């Protein structure tokens, strides 16, 4: 099959998190299965910079990737007007896969290619128009998009790929036909975890001695529950002195607030903000951590728990429905969203019980390998593509 992936950002723009990893791994696996894959994306690299690409067209792991210049970024919309010409031409693809929901790229494709070729959508947790932390103008713009464009976009898609049963139920409750919704989670590539940095590399890199490391990896955004984690850690340090909280990831508008909170709680040198890490340093961080924490208040589907699981590290997550696979696989503890005292108790339980920590780590490796590898997930996606092409 000739397949087009359409996304706002693409590898190596890994600072944008899950959607980048998802689109990249789907494309890579499809190429390995013998399909011709093309990617239309922008040259956005992070919140402020563009990718320094020498040529607009590059081949990345067998996929032809077109980087269209991103001219404006506002309210999560990446504007790449030059992509319009690509969508105006007659397309020779068998299927198009649109990633995320409220995007300039999706609207442009839909306007010029509404009927042919058939398209599927992965919303990546972006379907709700409102979160408690969002300002009114952002909520207004999302609702406006949904009313003017979004419903028609969902109606014309042949399949909509939901990351979890929770996201699927949101779509169905909003009026999307049940038979159009398929639950296809994100995954991981086990090969990424086969050549790890030596134990202690991350500690040496950041000057961490013998403290037990509590690790958060991800974007620094208000939705991620990092204020709860900081409060929980401040309670913990009154009883557990030999601990270090590492908060690793790119700033998404919340770093300054977290730094001020760290200072006000008197945590000082007990908290390390690393900024965005290279992939090798991320693996090194997992390798040296005692426990991973992912306290997100709102989530589409988190890859970090899967990565922590395959690394054999116990994890603590919030009770958001999109994270219930952790409890299903019995490789971590789940705590009530926003409850810092319960988060502190969960941290203390794992830090003080080595037998429990090892059991959770063992469960994580097995569960992730059996259920969340990209190879098996892309088999499902490939079958969906074939269905809509028949």
Give Cβ neighbours of residue 317 (< 8 Å, ≥ 6 apart): 293, 294, 295, 296, 302, 305, 323, 326, 332, 333, 334, 335
Phi-psi region of 10 (alpha: psi -120 to 50; beta: other; left: phi over 0): beta
Domain range enclosing 63: 2-187+373-389
User: What pLDDT, on the 0 to 100 scale, is given for residue 79?
Assistant: 83
| pLDDT, mean over the chain | 89
User: What pLDDT, on the 0 to 100 scale, is given for residue 241?
Assistant: 84
Query: Do 183 and 214 fall within a single domain?
Result: no
369 SS3 class: helix
User: What pLDDT, on the 0 to 100 scale, is given for residue 112?
Assistant: 86
Which pLDDT tens digit goes with each residue over 197-215?
999 999 999 999 889 999 9
User: What pLDDT, on the 0 to 100 scale, is given for residue 245?
Assistant: 97
Which pLDDT tens digit goes with each residue over 217-246?
998 988 899 999 999 999 999 888 899 999
**pLDDT, greater one: 261 or 137:** 261
Query: Do 11 and 152 fall within a single domain?
Result: yes
Q: Is the pLDDT of residue 356 over 60?
A: yes
Query: Do 141 and 47 fall within a single domain?
Result: yes
Residue with tokens 């036909």: 177
**C-beta neighbour count of 365 within 10 angstroms:** 18
Query: Do 288 and 349 fall within a single domain?
Result: yes
350 — pLDDT class (breaks 50, 70, 90): very high
What is the token pair recorded at 12? 């190596």
Distance CA 219, CA 14 (A): 11
Query: Do 57 and 151 fall within a single domain?
Result: yes
Query: Do 173 and 258 fall within a single domain?
Result: no
Query: Do 352 and 261 fall within a single domain?
Result: yes
- Of 93, 99, 95, give the one whose Cα is nearest residue 123: 99
Which pLDDT tens digit goes with each residue over 157-185?
999 999 888 889 888 988 889 999 999 99
Least confident of 91-95, 271-275, 314-318: 91-95
pTM above 0.85, yes or no: no
Distance CA 243, CA 208 (A): 10
Sheet containing 95-99: which strands, arranged edge to edge?
57-60, 63-68, 36-42, 2-6, 95-99, 118-122, 159-162, 181-183
Q: Which residues of 77-108 are buried (b: 16+ CB within 10 A; e: fewer)?
A: ebbbeebeebbeeebebbbbbbbbbbbbbbbb
Q: What is the DSSP string of 106-123?
A: HHHHHHH-SSSSEEEEE-
94 SS3 class: coil
For the chain, percent of residues with pLDDT exceeding 70:
94
User: What pLDDT, on the 0 to 100 scale, is given for residue 132?
Assistant: 57
| Whether 223 contacts 125, CB under 8 Å | no
Give the CATH number for residue 40.
Answer: 3.40.50.2000
Distance CA 264, CA 268 (A): 9
Query: Do 272 and 363 fall within a single domain?
Result: yes
Q: Is the pLDDT of residue 47 over 60?
A: yes
Query: Do 29 and 141 fall within a single domain?
Result: yes
Query: Do 367 and 377 fall within a single domain?
Result: no
Domain count, the chain: 2
Distance CA 23, CA 28 (A): 9
Query: Do 200 and 147 fall within a single domain?
Result: no
257 — pLDDT class (breaks 50, 70, 90): very high
Sheet containing 315-318: which strands, arranged edge to edge?
271-275, 243-248, 212-217, 291-294, 315-318, 332-335
Query: Do 21 and 84 fall within a single domain?
Result: yes
């Amino acid at each position: 099959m000739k397949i087009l992936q359409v996304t706002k950002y693409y590898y190596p723009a890994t600072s944008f998190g899950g959607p980048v990893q998802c689109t990249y791994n789907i494309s890579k696996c499809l190429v390995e299965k013998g399909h011709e894959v093309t990617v239309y994306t922008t040259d956005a690299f992070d919140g402020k910079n563009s990718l320094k690409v020498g040529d607009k067209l590059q081949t990345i792991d067998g996929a032809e990737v077109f980087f269209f210049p991103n001219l404006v970024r506002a309210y999560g919309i990446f504007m790449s007007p030059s992509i319009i010409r690509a969508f105006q031409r007659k397309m020779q693809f068998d299927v198009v896969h649109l990633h995320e929901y409220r995007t300039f790229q999706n609207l442009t494709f839909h306007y010029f290619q509404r009927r042919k070729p058939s398209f599927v959508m992965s919303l990546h947790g972006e379907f709700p128009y409102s979160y408690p932390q969002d300002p009114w103008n952002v909520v207004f713009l999302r609702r406006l998009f949904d009313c003017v464009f979004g419903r028609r976009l969902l109606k014309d898609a042949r399949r909509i790929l939901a990351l979890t049963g929770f996201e699927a139920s949101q779509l169905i409750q909003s009026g999307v036909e049940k038979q159009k919704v398929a639950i296809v989670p994100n995954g991981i590539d086990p090969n990424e975890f086969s050549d790890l940095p030596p134990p202690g590399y991350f500690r040496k890199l950041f000057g961490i001695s013998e403290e037990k490391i509590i690790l958060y990896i991800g974007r620094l955004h208000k939705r991620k529950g990092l204020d709860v984690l900081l409060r929980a850690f401040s309670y913990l340090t009154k009883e557990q002195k030999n601990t270090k909280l590492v908060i690793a990831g790119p700033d998404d508008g919340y770093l300054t607030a977290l730094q001020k909170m760290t200072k006000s709680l008197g945590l000082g040198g007990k908290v390390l903000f690393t900024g965005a890490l290279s992939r090798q340093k991320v693996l090194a961080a997992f390798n040296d951590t005692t426990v991973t924490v992912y306290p997100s208040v709102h989530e589409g589907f988190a890859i970090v728990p899967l990565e922590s699981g395959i690394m054999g590290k116990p994890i603590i997550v919030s009770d958001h429905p999109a994270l219930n696979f952790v409890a299903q696989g019995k490789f971590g503890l789940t705590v009530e969203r926003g409850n810092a005292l319960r988060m502190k108790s969960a941290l203390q339980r794992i830090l003080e019980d080595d037998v429990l920590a090892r059991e959770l780590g063992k469960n994580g490796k097995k569960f992730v390998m059996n259920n969340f590898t990209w190879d098996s997930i892309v088999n499902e996606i490939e079958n969906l593509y074939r269905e809509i092409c028949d």
